[in-house]
Amino acid sequence: MNNIPTWQAVLAVDSRCELGEGPQWHASHERLYWCDILGKRLHWLSPATEKHGHYPLDQKVSLAAPLDDGNLLLVGEHALNRFNPTSGHIEKLYDFEADNPVTRSNDARVDRHGSLWLSSMGKQAEPEAGSLYRLHRGELCKLRTHLTIPNALCFSADGKMAYFTDTPTGQVMRWALDKQGWPLGEPKRFVDFSGHAGNPDGAVIDSEGCMWLALWGAGEVVRLNTDGQMIGRVVLPVNQPSCPVFAGPDLETLYITTAQEGLSAAQLAQTPTAGSLFAVQTGIKGLAEPPLRLT
C-alpha cells in the first residue's frame, strides 16, 4: 500500500450536499453536473470559468445524463425526466418504479452503446429492495433484482464488460456483455473489499482501462487494474466519498462527490466540508462517455 502512487484531493466546490452523487461530465455544455439526492438539488460547475450553481428539484434525483439532443435525462426516484438546463423546463418521459413508494433511484451510468444502466434501492436501504435496469433506445429492461445498495456501475472501454457492486456485500462484480451491450450469463467477482476499510460505492473507468472506486467510510478512492489489484489511491479530507468522474475538456481532472449523510454533529465539526465536491490531478485521463440515446 505504501508503494503505490497516492494523491491528495482538494476542495473544488464547497457544496456540502447531504448525499452528493452521480457526477457526470456534459461535454457539449462544458459543465460537470452532480446531484444532492436527499437535498433534491442538481449542482453544476463550469471548470473553465469556475462558476457553479444549482437547480432545485421536485424529487430525489441521482444522475443527470447528457442526451444526444443537448438536454439532460434526470434519473429520479419515481420518473425519468428530460431537463433543459437553459430554460429549466422538465418533461416526464418514463415512470421509474412509480408504484413502489419504498424505493428511489441510485447509481446510474451511460454505457458504450449510449444506453443507460440505472438502479433503485430502498429509501432506508431496506435489504434486497433494489433492482438494476438498462434503458436501451427508450425501453426499460430489468436486469437484476434483490439488490440492497447497487453501485459502481461502469464499463470497459471496449464495451465487453460491465461492473457493479451491491455495496453491503463488499464485492465488486464483472459482467460479460454481448455486442449490443446486454449481459451474458452470470456476473463474476472482480474484487473483494469485504475485509477492507470502507465500502465500495461509485466507480469510473479511465483511459488505461483501470477502475477508480470510491470507498464510502474510508475517505479514499482507489485505482484498480484489470486484475483487481490496487495500484493507486486518492486520499480525501472527508470520510464519505460516493463517486468519481473524469471531467474537463481533456478529461484530465478527477472529481469526487461526497456526503454528509449519517454524520453526527461532532463528525461534521471535524470535517466541515463533508458533502462537497473535490478534485485531483493524477496525470491520468478519463474515457469520453457517449451521450444517452433514447431512440
Which residues contribute to the annotated binding site for substrate?
Answer: 104, 106
Which residues contribute to the annotated binding site for a divalent metal cation?
21, 151, 201
| Among the listed residues 245, 3, 228, 274, the one whose alpha carbon sits nearest the alpha carbon of residue 108 | 245
Which residues contribute to the annotated binding site?
21, 104, 106, 151, 201
Parallel, antiparallel, or unpaired: how do β-strands 41-46 and 51-56 relate? antiparallel
Under DSSP, is residue 266 helix (H, G, I), strand (E, B) or coil?
helix
CB atoms within 10 A of CB 272: 13
| Strand order, beta sheet including 10-13 | 10-13, 277-281, 253-258, 241-247
Kindly tell me the burial class for residue 157, based on how many C-beta atoms sit within 10 Å of its own C-beta (0-12, 13-18, 19 or more).
middle
Contact indicator for 206, 197 with CB cutoff of 8 Å: no
Rg (CA), the chain: 17
The Cα–Cα gap between 235 and 233 comes to: 6
Which one of the listed residues 36, 107, 166, 201 is annotated catalytic?
201
Q: Let me know if 14 is a catalytic residue.
A: no
Catalytic residues: 201
